[in-house]
Amino acid sequence: MAPDKHTLDALKIHRPASAAGSRGPMMLGVVAVAALIGAAIWWFYHPKAIEVQTASARAITASAGDGARTLLNASGYVTARRAATVSSKVTGRVIDVLVEEGMKVEEGQVLAHLDSSNVAVNLRLAEAQLEAARQSLGETEANLVLAQKNFERSTNLAEAKVVSASDLDRAVAELAALQARLARQRSEILVAEQQVATWKQQIDDTVIRAPFAGIVTSKNAQQGEMISPISAGGGFTRTGICTLVDMNSLEVEVDVNEAYINRVSPGQPVQVTLDAYPDWRIPAKVIAIIPAADRQKATVRVRVGFEALDPRILPDMGLKVAFQEAEPPAGAVASTPGAPRTTIVVPSTAVRRAGDRDVVWVVRNGRVERRAVNVGMRTGDETTIAAGLTGGERVVIQGPDTLADGARVAETSH
C-alpha cells in the first residue's frame, strides 16, 4: 500500500535556516583570502622596476655650409715654444735689475748687473803683469842687439887670430841665451794677454743680457740678492733674474685620448676657443703628433699652431680645441652645398664604457636596451654620437651599474 502524503512529509530532514544562509559569505571570504595570498606571492617574486634618470637624445640639424664637421674635441693650454728663465754664468750679488713684468726686450739688451768689484781688481792686476812682461821684453830685445854685435865682432877677431876661441864661445852662448829669453818672454806676454782676456770675460759675465727678443713674464730677483746658476737648495740664493717668453712662438699643447688619436693628422684644420674668450673662434692647424704615449694617462700629446697670433693669446691660457674634418682633396666629389647634416647629442653621463666599446642604455616601453655607439666628440657636459642613436630616444643618464638588457625600469626625466 502506498504511503500517504503526510507520511512522506514526515521523512524530510529539517535544517536550521541560519546554517543554510551563512554558507555563501564563507565561500566569498575563502576566495578573497586566496586572492590576497596569490597577489602577495606575485608581488614578492615579480621583479621590481629599477629607478633610472633619463634624458632625450637631441638631434641637431645644420647645413653643410655652416662649417667643417668636428671630429674630436679636447682641452689644452697655450704654451711657448721658446721661453727661458734668464740667469747668470757666475755667482754674484745683484747690483740692479733693469726690467719689470710685461716689458718687451730685444735680443742682447741688458737685463741686470752683478757686483764685479773683485773681478775688476784681478783684471787690473793682470793688466799690470802684462805691462811688466812687455817692458821686460823690450830690455831683452836691446840686450839681444848688443849680443848680436858682440858675436859678429868676436867672429871677425877670431878669424884674424886676435881673440881666443873661448871668447868666441862666450859670445855665442850669450847670444843664444838672450834669444831663448826673448822667446820665453814673448810666451809670457801671450799668457798675460790671455789672463787679461779671462778677467774681462768674467766682468762681462756680470752683465746679464737677453738671449732672445720677448716679453718679461716674471721678475725673480731684486737688488741686493745673491744669484747663482746652480740651485742652492733651501738657501736664499736665486737662480734666475727673470722669465722671458718669445710671444711669436706661442702654440697649443693638447693631450688626446689614445683611443681617438686616429682622428688627428698633421696639417688638420683646428678651431681653438680660449676659455677667456668663449665667443672667439681662432683658426689653427695640427703641427705634429708626438710619437709617444703617456702610459698613466693613456694620452698622446699633439702640437697645434695658430694661423695668426693675437695679443690676447697669453701663455698658459686654458682652451678648447675642435679637430675638424680636413678639406677634400683636389678632384674629390664634395658634399652637396646646403645638404642637411644631423648630429645626435646626449649628456656625457649617458655614455658608458663596456669593454672596448662605448655604449648607452636606451629605454623603450619601460625596458632598457644596451646600444653600442660611436662617440664623435665631447663638449663639456655633452657628447656627440656619430652612430648608434636617433633623435628623440630616451637614454639613461643615471642608474645602477647592474642594468641588463630587458630590465624593467621606472624613469624620471632629467
Name the CATH superfamily housing domain 70-81+249-324. Efflux pump adaptor protein, beta barrel domain (2.40.30.170)
Q: Are 284 and 304 in contact (CB under 8 A)?
A: yes
Q: Where are the domains of the chain?
A: 50-66+340-413, 70-81+249-324, 83-115+207-245, 117-203
The dihedral over CA atoms of 254, 258, 261, 263, expressed in degrees to the nearest 10, equals: -110
The dihedral over CA atoms of 48, 52, 55, 56, expressed in degrees to the nearest 10, equals: -30
Residue 19 is placed in which grid cell? Answer: 546554517
CA distances in angstroms from 227 to 86, 114, 205, 209, 210, listed in the order given: 11, 9, 12, 15, 16
Q: What is the pLDDT along the chain (414 residues), one digit of tens a residue?
A: 455 555 555 555 555 545 445 555 666 666 676 777 766 665 555 566 778 888 888 887 654 444 567 788 888 999 999 999 998 888 889 999 999 999 999 999 999 999 988 889 999 999 998 888 888 877 777 877 887 887 777 777 767 777 677 777 777 787 788 788 888 888 888 988 999 999 999 999 999 999 999 999 999 888 988 888 876 555 567 788 999 999 999 999 999 988 888 889 999 999 999 999 988 999 999 999 999 998 888 899 999 999 999 999 999 999 999 998 876 544 444 444 445 567 788 888 888 888 778 888 888 888 888 888 887 766 667 788 878 888 788 888 888 877 888 888 887 776
* pTM score: 0.56
Kindly calculate the radius of gyration of the chain based on its CA atoms and give it in whole angstroms. Answer: 49
CATH 2.40.50.100 fits 83-115+207-245, yes or no: yes
Residues 6+ apart with CB under 8 A from 325: 68, 69, 70, 71, 269
* Reported CATH class of domain 50-66+340-413: mainly beta
